[in-house]
Amino acid sequence: MKRYEKREWKESMKITMDFNNMMSEVIGDEQGISKASIDQLSDRLKEAAQAMKDKRKAGKMDFRDLPYNQKDIVKDLIDTANKIKDRFDAFVVLGIGGSALGPIAVQQALNHMHYNELSKEDRGGYPRLYVVDNVDPERMDALFDVIDIEKTAFNVITKSGSTSETMSQFLIIQDMLKTKLGDKYQDHIIATTDAENGNLIKIAKQEGFKTFFIPRGVGGRFSELTPVGLLPAAVCGIDIEELLAGAAYADELSSVDNVYENMAYMAATLQYLAMKAGKNISVMMPYADSLKYMADWYAQLWAESLGKRYDLEGKEVFVGQTPVKALGVTDQHSQVQLYTEGPFDKVVTFLGVGEYRKTMEIARGYEDIPAVSFLGGHTLNELIHAEQAATEYALLKAKRLNRTITLPVVNAFTIGQLLYLLEVETAFAGELLNIDAFDQPGVEEGKNATYALLGRPGYEEKKQELDSRPKKKEEYII
């Protein structure tokens, strides 16, 4: 029996959210959210909870079924990962946005912090992982200094199958592989995309690439628990079945209608009320390097899902909350000054860890200098916990809204849980804001403008529109 099949173990791994410091009873009436204001929303909350269920039933929230409907795919993923492990030294993800941020976040959370620098043996025989989530020519060029493409597998990931960044990365790699390997290049490429739509699936079929599919109803930023994230994770030795088990547990926890018993719903409700009160910035501050890129992943999820011009009735609403990424304790020495004394426009979410996977003792020394020697005999674990508690206290004292999400320990189960809970929180916040949390017209606009600028056929009108934009004045360029 796997550990995640045991109820007791699962419960011991439950993520908690402490929202004391969001509440007026604790943080004061001026900034805090009162229980009465949550209760006044009760009809709206019930409607939103019902809409979550209705949409799920109607197949409009397919990310929620991912923990359950991928058994055969998981087998294929593990099998493919094993073949890659046997044959390749490096695995490179070509993708951007929702096709890159999840793989980066999960790898950072669950593998060694210097994974790529370890010897193959110390990596358990698994290949190194690189995620090319940009089109910076210097970075792309630098990649070829650290990989041998003959010993590298490339995973092209794009839901739409047409994103310029990803397709450019793909064209570069394909050309290099063909030059080196001729017709035998195909088994160096795996395509993860929509099963029917887009150019990548056409190309993959034509070239004979191995393919994995992103379910039609799962958008980029909600796709980490599809082959988008599962393949890179499996290739690097992460237990993807445990990841999905964590998500299934989170589904159980976030399927309760009562907001006081549903962490994801409560979190969304508090953020919604905070937004209404002008808190337009959502800071995520993990106190663990392992969770550093969770804040990046969350930033896309929160920004693209909730930053909307129109509500569902087509009324202009201009809603959303700007996500900011910070890292505890590093950013205590950079941003916390602003958080405690700047404008009252933020909600800070601390991501904490109950127990770190390692313990590091601070050596004793300089007994004659008490201001230094007091550190000796403690551990870095105690220090980082104390710093998190101290920052939380500083924010409380300055009456700044903050909440703490704690993972008992970082493992595949808690990471699956966290990803899923934050996705449900986002979807529920979308319901409360009465917007479509699953589209991204603002991103599409930028993508289309890029196509037009680079001369993609069919985008001539967009090119004309761009050409008629106001000309830049020399006087404003100094």
Residues found near ligand PA5 in the complex (CB under 6 A): 96-99, 158-160, 163, 166, 219-221, 304, 440, 443
User: What stretches of 299-393 adopt beta strand conformation (E)?
Assistant: 308-310, 316-319, 322-325, 346-353
Angstrom distance (rounded) from CA 340 to CA 18? 19
User: What's the min distance (Å) between Cβ of 213 and ligand PA5?
Assistant: 12
Please, is 84 exposed, middle or buried when counting C-beta atoms within 10 Å of its C-beta (0-12, 13-18, 19+)? buried
List beta partners, residue 18.
404
Cβ proximity to ligand PA5, 305 vs 434, nearer residue: 305
Q: Do 354 and 409 meet the contact criterion of CB atoms below 8 Å apart?
A: yes
DSSP, collapsed to helix, strand or coil, labels residue 31 as coil
26: cis peptide before it, omega within 30°?
no
Both tokens assigned to 204: 């993959």
Hey, which residues does 154 pair with through a beta bridge?
92, 189
Considering the complex, state which of residue 158 and residue 434 has its C-beta at the smaller distance from ligand PA5.
Answer: 158
Least distance from C-beta 162 to ligand PA5, angstroms?
7
Which is catalytic among the residues 71, 333, 358, 473?
333
Closer to ligand PA5 by Cβ: residue 157 or 253: 157
Longest CA pairwise span in the chain (Å): 76
Using the minimum distance from each CB to ligand PA5, give the nearer residue, 426 or 440: 440
Question: What amino acid occupies position 49?
Answer: A
Shortest Å distance, C-beta 219 to ligand PA5:
5
Identify which of residues 52 and 299 has a Cβ nearer to ligand PA5 in the complex: 299
Q: 163 — phi, psi (to 5°)? A: -60, 125
Shorter beta-carbon distance to ligand PA5: residue 41 or 433: 433
First to last CA, the chain: 67
Q: How far apart are CA 254 and CA 421, in angstroms?
A: 7
The structure tokens listed for 33 are: 């959210």
Residue with smaller CB distance to ligand PA5, 100 or 270:
100
Smallest distance, ligand PA5 to C-beta of residue 414, A: 24
Report the b/e string of 120-159 with b at 16+ CB within 10 A.
eeebeebbbbbbbbeeeeeebeebeeebebeebbbbbbbb
Between 99 and 349, CB nearer to ligand PA5: 99
Tell me if residue 30 is catalytic: no
Q: Are strands 322-325 and 316-319 parallel, antiparallel or unpaired?
A: unpaired
Q: Are strands 189-193 and 152-158 parallel, antiparallel or unpaired?
A: parallel
Sign, Cα dihedral of 254, 255, 257, 258: negative
The count of other CB atoms within 10 Å of the CB of residue 351 is 26
Q: Give min distance, CB of 110 to ligand PA5, in A.
A: 21
Nearest approach, Cβ of 164 to ligand PA5 (angstroms)?
A: 9
Catalytic entry in 304, 392, 425, 431: 304
The least CB distance from residue 271 to ligand PA5, in Å, is 19
Range list of H helices, 358-440: 370-373, 380-397, 412-433
DSSP E strands in 24-103: the ranges are 90-94
Q: Would residue 188 show up in a list of annotated catalytic residues for this protein?
A: no
* Gap between the Cα atoms of 413 and 244, Å rounded: 7
Task: Give catalytic status of residue 304 as yes or no.
Answer: yes
Nearer to ligand PA5, 223 or 417 (CB): 223
Provide the 8-state DSSP code for 33.
B
The active-site residue, picked from 112, 276, 447, 462, is: 447
Q: Which residue has the tokens 């046997």?
A: 86
CB of 459 to ligand PA5, least distance (A): 17
Q: How far is the CB of 170 from ligand PA5 (least distance, A)?
A: 11
Beta strands 316-319 and 346-353, pairing class: unpaired
- Report the residue number whose CB is nearest to ligand PA5: 220
Q: Is 403 helix (H, G, I), strand (E, B) or coil?
A: strand
Catalytic residues: 304, 333, 447
